[in-house]
Structure 1
Amino acid sequence: MGHLDHAAFGWLTPVLSYLMACVGAALGLRCTVRALATTGRSRRNWLVTAASAIGTGIWTMHFVAMLGFRVSGTDIRYNVPLTILSLLVAMVVVCAGVFAVGYSRDRTRALLLGGLTTGIGVASMHYLGMAAVRLHGDVRYDPVLVGVSVLIAVVAATAALWAGLNIKSPLAVTVASLVMGAAVSSMHYTGMFAVSVRVHPSGETLPGATAMQFIFPLAVGLGSYLFITSAFVALSPTADEREASASAQRPVESIAR
């Protein structure tokens, strides 16, 4: 059996991946709050931004954590198409969950259905990402821990969607996103502890890209997207602020007349 190291760089990758998950969750919740305050195209755009932020945050969390994954006795490579597919899955399922909640008449049913869909999607993203791993050996999973990780994903997703519907204040959004980040991280590491590897040492070159060639630039790019979008959302006025500035301009116009 190969020895598995989940944090080859010490605390760097777990902490950084947790922060990524938190930023994605905070931005997603903020956009959902905005979406529910508007209608029509504006609502749709905010919901798409929310879904892409949460999906990107979860995916970046997973692969930043994977930068610290090592197995003694073998190199690790990543299958590029499967890794990109896992990112698309994360985006699409989170989008489905967010839209189910954003447009539904029956909130409770939408929440349960959206949470289930999104949770299973997040778990699929994780295990697709794991299926993209190439190494010299056989990868096995502990079915009980896999089941627990899927359950954590469903509970976390449902909690995130509930928070998106019920939380308005910035402090509450911050707390909710810290909890959400912890849930996503615990799902990831539970899934990782389910893994065991039987190494077959070999001198053959593995197919695929190294983490630094492929995942690192992609994670940096998506991380930058998250932070830039966060800044944009934080600086764009809310509906209330727009209303306030419009009403402040009205008396000035009447005086000018």
Structure 2
Amino acid sequence: MAEISHFEYGWITPALSYALSVLGSVLGLVCAGRIRTASSSRQRAWWGLLSAWALGGTAIWSMHFMAMLGFAVPGTRIRYDVPITIASTVIAVAAVGLGLVIVGTGRLSVLRVLIGGLFTGAGVAAMHYTGMAAMRLDGSFSYDTLRVVASVVIAVVAATVALWLAMTVRRPLAIAGSALLMGIAVNGMHFTGMSALSVHLHPGTGEVAGAGVSTLLTPIVLAVIFVLVGLVYALIAAPTEEDRAATAYLDARASAVGPAAAPPSPPDPVGLRGRSTLGQPGTPFPSRRTPPPPQG
């Protein structure tokens, strides 16, 4: 059995993985909070998609890959199968999206949260072990069953709590505290699953195929940056409840005032305007006549 190092670069990779999970959780919770306040099904779908990308793509999958950068096995190089790595991303986003659909449509209930947490947690665990299966090295893997089960239980519990928080938390301080707890839960699930892994080296079996860490790191970092910038822009550009209330207030005032009134006419106390024919259609304008010459 080979020796395994989970912190090849010290505290840098776990610190960055925790920061990514907290940041993704904050954005995901804020986006999820817009789902139930959205005024149309199209807006609910839009905010649900953004929340799934933030939670599944950033808080879970990006955190997983960042933590994997610190994983090393002395005596062999580690490569990654790109299609399987991409599949793990899709699984993470789809799992969170499914959970948000379950709890975000219809009346919120304990049963909905439990069912959504079960599906989402199972998806998160599937993402983790799919990402592990993407690793290529000069050896084979084996897992401790008890620790695998423990990691799945942690994933389900963390997903259930995350969905409940996503549908109930609204205040900024509560969102920040919830994101910190979610970061601990996601990282705890990851490193519990990693502790279940054992590696058996088979040296001399040939060149290890796959993409190296440096090859995958650049596009992943760029994708994370673009996604985060897009999410922040969407949150800033979206109208808030105060904006909607102000717009409704202005519309109500405009409806109450009605069309602009005509300018008032000058007073006509003796009714000359009513008896006058000047300016009416068909009335000739009086011409100026020269007075007749005097007689004699």
Do Structure 1 and Structure 2 share a fold, with TM-score over 0.5? yes
**Contact (CA 8 Å) 2:31, 2:235: kept in 1 or not?**
no
Identical amino acids, percent of aligned pairs: 41
Structure 1 Cα separation of the partners of residues 122 and 193 of structure 2: 13
Per the normalisation by structure 1, the TM-score is 0.93
Which of 138, 152, 155 matches 1:153? 155
Report the 3-state secondary structure (helix = DSSP H, G, I; strand = E; otherwise coil) of the residue aligned with 2:34. Answer: helix
Q: How does 1:106-255 map to 2 (within 5 A)?
A: 107-202=109-204, 204-214=206-216, 216-246=217-247, 249=250
Regions of 4+ moved over 6 Å: none
Residues 169/37 of structure 1: CA separation in 2 closer, same or farther (3 Å cut): same
Provide structure 1 residue ranges, at least 5 long, that are not aligned to the other structure.
none
Report the 3-state secondary structure (helix = DSSP H, G, I; strand = E; otherwise coil) of the residue aligned with 2:158. Answer: helix
Larger radius of gyration: 2
Aligned to 1:35: 35
Report the 3-state secondary structure (helix = DSSP H, G, I; strand = E; otherwise coil) of the residue aligned with 1:198. Answer: strand
**Contact (CA 8 Å) 2:28, 2:54: kept in 1 or not?**
yes
Structure 1 residue 213, shift from structure 2 partner: 0.8
Give the number of aligned pairs.
Answer: 256
**Contact (CA 8 Å) 1:23, 1:226: kept in 2 or not?**
no
Structure 1 Cα separation of the partners of residues 5 and 26 of structure 2: 30
Provide structure 2 residue ranges, at least 5 long, that are not aligned to the other structure.
261-296
Structure 1 Cα separation of the partners of residues 112 and 160 of structure 2: 10
Report the 3-state secondary structure (helix = DSSP H, G, I; strand = E; otherwise coil) of the residue aligned with 1:163. Answer: helix
Q: Could you report, residue by residue, the CA deviation over 1:84-120 in whole angstroms, capped at 9, with x for unpaired residues?
A: 1111111111111111111133522211110000000
Aligned to 1:22: 22
Q: Could you report, residue by residue, the CA deviation over 1:93-152 in whole angstroms, capped at 9, with x for unpaired residues?
A: 111111111113352221111000000000000000000111111211111111111001
Q: Read off the aligned partner of 1:227 and give its amino acid letter.
A: L
Report the 3-state secondary structure (helix = DSSP H, G, I; strand = E; otherwise coil) of the residue aligned with 1:140. Answer: strand
Higher helix share: 1
**Contact (CA 8 Å) 1:31, 1:233: kept in 2 or not?**
no
Bigger CA drift: 133-142 or 247-256? 247-256
Aligned to 1:84: 86
Structure 1 residue 218, shift from structure 2 partner: 3.3
Structure 1 Cα separation of the partners of residues 223 and 13 of structure 2: 16
Bigger CA drift: 220-229 or 52-61? 220-229
Structure 2 Cα separation of the partners of residues 234 and 52 of structure 1: 14
Per the normalisation by structure 2, the TM-score is 0.81
Aligned to 1:13: 13
